[in-house]
Structure 1
Amino acid sequence: MSTFLIAFIISALLSLFIIRYATTHSLDHDLKGVQKFHARAVPRVGGVAIFMSVIATSAIATYRSPGQGYSLLILILCSSIAFFGGVIEDLTKRVSAKRRLLLTMLAAGAGYWLLDARIQRVDFVVTNFVLLTWVALPLTVVAVAGVANAVNIIDGFNGLAAVVTMFMLLSLAYVALQVNDTFVLVAAVAVAGAAAGFLVWNYPAGLIFLGDGGAYFLGFMLAELTVLLVMRNPSVSSWYALLLVIYPVFETLFSVYRRLFVRGRSPGMPDGIHLHSLIFRRIVVWAAGRSDDVRALNLRNSMTSPYLWLLSLLAVIPASLFWWHTPTLMGFCLLFVVTYVWLYVRIVRFRSPRWLFIRGRKR
């Protein structure tokens, strides 16, 4: 608990400092982009506060327990490759999505060799498969980079990516506590506390954004710690990892399918019809009204994220409860996919379930 509080306080103070002294280069001035839902320029380097908070908290944790220091240092060094690629994009707008993805893959490769964070087994109902290095290495790199990129993709509204990631990190901390994995426990709690401190200013007011640096950092840390927890502890099913991160991962895979096969466009081309965007335009706007003033837009922005928080909990809660039971985890993975597709199809066809609407206006 003290690790969480320390990270929370440091992150909140650093976020406030950034808000107060943000320069023009660190502000998000693009108010008309297809995935933009804010009404004024906002600092988009909140990831710096989270990153620095994790470094400071890790230093304190190392002082208390020197045995964890090396692993925490290596984890942060690996994450910095993905983090700085995102921050440079936040400041310059000159780092393409492909380059950011490649940097994150490089960070995952570093974690593979330096931290032994590698996917080497896949669990099934009656047996486990051990993967050879030539399979484990590319699978690990793609999986870790994919989760980091997925977190960046869902970072569309105040508090969305930060809270969803925090839920998952707290689940990791809980399971790590059950299996006595102190390293994963401390690291997960530190990152979760840093995300919570950032949220003080990000939600609901939207005074600061994660930016690509923050999203890639949170996503990378989430992915690395998930891989480490599962592979270091054979009692934790590999399906726990998939169910835990299934919301951002399936959102990304579904987006690739939609762009490539349904709309005939490049998978890397941004669009405004992610599930969170549809909820904003077709449910929240209906409930909160269509006024375009700053307060109304900020209200609609903050009202969108809780829908996705609840959706993510449909995966995080059963993953946390049944982290050891492969058949149950597989069943919940299938249930989540079916629920997501059903909800998306209903909303996109203007047949949203009535219980999704906060106020009593009828369609």
Structure 2
Amino acid sequence: MISSFLISAAVSGIISEYNSILGEWINDPHGGGPQKFHTKPTPRVGGIGVFLGVALGLLLFGWRQRESAQQAILLLLSSLPAFVAGLGEDITKQVPVKVRLTLCLLSGTLAFFLLEGGITRTGVSLLDHILNSAPLSLAFTMLAIGGYANAINIIDGFNGLAGGVCVIILCGLAYVCYRVDDWFLLHSCIVVLVSVLGFLVWNYPSGRIFLGDGGAYFLGFALGTISVLLVHRHPTVSPWFPVLLAIYPVWETLFSIYRRQLLRGASAGNADRLHLHSLIYKRVLKASCKKGDRCVLNSTTSVYLWFFSLISFIPAVIFWQETPALQIFTLSWIVFYIWLYASIVRFKTPIWFKLNLKPNFHGIRT
């Protein structure tokens, strides 16, 4: 586990320190896009360090626990299409959205067959009956894991945001894996978690390296696959546990599709600055501190969303076996999200949600 942290931190540090050598290939240019909030070119291939850290950790675990070696290798193999799709976009910036989405779905398909785990329980009787069909279970699993990968990519907008949210989700998954004595999934959670922490050493708060599409897709795939396998293997785990645990990135994605495609008639793949994290940055933090250091505002935005994710984390780990309670908390969280989003859009942000930063506070500029 320590080796996973060290390799992730070391690789991320080397890339951030020597990015000028391959800057044209690995850097994310500042400005120029609706989701760019940094002020100088920054490497966006942080997923390399995370992937290598996870790969090392899983392979070492498989070497020590031979009965888990096959699972470790198959999990890594299943993740490759999603990771390669994202990394290709990070380097070339020319991989079409449909190609990336297709490869994420392919990773979900590989996980279904190679790891022999699919979604067959949802807590909704009619849907559960439909999912008794293997092809429909495959389709649902493929969409869930592929969608999860894209959900993490969507919230990857500020220093530490996606990484911090993934750490919170992984803590919840690890806790339940421990409760049901699933040591392979528990170790997988911990290996991914410490690899993300190694990346965060350089990503938060300074933003010296970004996760990139490769890192976001890989983490989304890993979290989605662990969630599917946990519910599939252990009937005592409610299928709504991973839903509530990851409701922030999941709902942000679904709401973005609704907002872009149904309300505005645009493509769901078009980037914009109307995500909740973008609105908090522009209309809550920048409005409260117009002269504040941009990096401080960037990193503070992530803290807001970490707490937002913790709101769902707490009831999820308490009621991980209780489907009705989890459904109620999920619906309540969605209602709260919509109310808060509408309030910020209408410039009626609640007073308690605002934060007054000292305008002359100087942080690390990005």
Q: Which amino acid aligns with 1:67?
A: E
Secondary structure of the 2:175 match is helix
Once the 2 structures are TM-superposed, how far is the Cα of residue 124 of structure 1 from its aligned partner? 4.6
**Counterpart of 1:45 in structure 2: which amino acid?**
V
Residue 119 of structure 1 corresponds to which residue in structure 2? 119
Shift in Å at residue 264 of structure 1?
A: 2.3
Residue 8 (structure 1) aligned with residue 39 (structure 2)? no
SS of equivalent residue, structure 2 residue 116: coil
Residue in 2 aligned with 1:302?
Answer: 299
From the superposition, tell whether residues 360 and 82 of structure 1 become closer, same or farther in structure 2 (CA, over 3 Å). Answer: closer
SS at match of 2:122: strand
Partner of 1:205 in structure 2? 206
Question: What do the CA deviations read for 1:262-299 (whole angstroms, capped 9, x no partner)?
Answer: 222222211111000000000110233246xxxx2111
Residue of structure 2 equivalent to 1:286:
287
Q: Is the 8 A contact 1:125 1:326 kept in 2?
A: no
Q: CA separation in 1, counterparts of 2:280 and 2:307?
A: 13
Q: CA deviation at 1:58?
A: 1.4
Q: For 1:35 and 1:128, how far apart are their aligned partners in 2?
A: 38
TM-score normalised to structure 1 length:
0.94
Opposite residue 91 of structure 2, the aligned amino acid is: L
Change (3 A) 1:360 1:113: closer
Offset of residue 357 of structure 1: 1.4
TM-score (norm 2): 0.93
Contact (CA 8 Å) 1:6, 1:193: kept in 2 or not? no
What SS does structure 1 have at the residue aligned with 2:77? helix
Rounded Cα–Cα distance in structure 2 between residues aligned with 1:42 and 1:97: 22
Cα distance in 1, alignment partners of residues 273 and 147 from structure 2: 20
Q: Which amino acid aligns with 1:120?
A: T
Aligned to 2:310: 313
- C-alpha contact (below 8 Å) 2:155/2:162 kept by paired residues: yes
Deviation at 1:261, TM superposition (A): 2.3
The secondary structure found in structure 2 opposite 1:32 is coil
Q: Distance in 2 between matches of 1:260 and 1:91?
A: 28
Give distance in 1, aligned partners of 2:124 and 2:267: 34
2:320 counterpart residue number: 323
Which residue of the partner structure matches residue 106 of structure 2?
106
May I ask how many residue pairs the two structures share in their alignment? Answer: 354
Residues 278 and 347 of structure 1 are in contact (CA less than 8 Å); yes or no, is this contact kept in structure 2? Answer: yes
Paired residue secondary structure (1:310): helix
**Cα distance between partner residues in 2 of 1:315 and 1:148:** 19
Match of 2:362 in 1: none
For 1:117 and 1:101, locate their aligned partners in 2 and report how far apart those are by CA, in whole Å.
21
2: CA distance between counterparts of 1:360 and 1:274?
22
Partner residue, 2:340: 343
The answer to whether the 8 A contact 2:120-2:128 is kept is: no
Residue 359 of structure 1: aligned partner = 356
**Secondary structure, aligned partner of 2:265:** coil
Q: Is the 8 A contact 1:169 1:188 kept in 2?
A: yes
Does the 8 A contact of 1:144 with 1:220 survive in 2? yes
- Aligned-residue offset at 1:54: 0.7
Distance 1:170 1:299 in 2: 26
% identical aligned pairs: 44
Give the AA of the match of 2:155.
Answer: I
Q: Which amino acid aligns with 1:140?
A: T
Give the distance between the partners of 2:144 and 2:136, measured in 1 at CA. 12
Uncovered stretches (5+) of structure 2, i.e. residues with no partner: 359-366
Q: 1:260 is matched with which residue? A: 261
Post-superposition shift, 1:251?
Answer: 0.5
Which 4+ stretches in 1 moved above 6 angstroms? Answer: 125-128
CA contact (8 A) 1:19 1:207 kept: yes
**Do structure 1's residue 146 and structure 2's residue 142 form an aligned pair?**
no
**More moved, 337-346 vs 267-276:** 267-276
Deviation per residue, 1:338-358 (Å, 9 max, x gap):
010000000000000111111
- Spell out, residue by residue over 1:71-110, the C-alpha distance to the aligned partner (whole angstroms, 9 max, x if none): 0110011111100110011000111111111001011101
Q: Deviations over 1:312-359 (max 9, x none)?
A: 111122111111011110111101100100000000000001111111
Per the TM alignment, residue 126 of structure 1 is displaced from its structure 2 partner at its CA by: 12
Gaps of 5+ in 1: none
- The amino acid that maps onto 1:301 is N
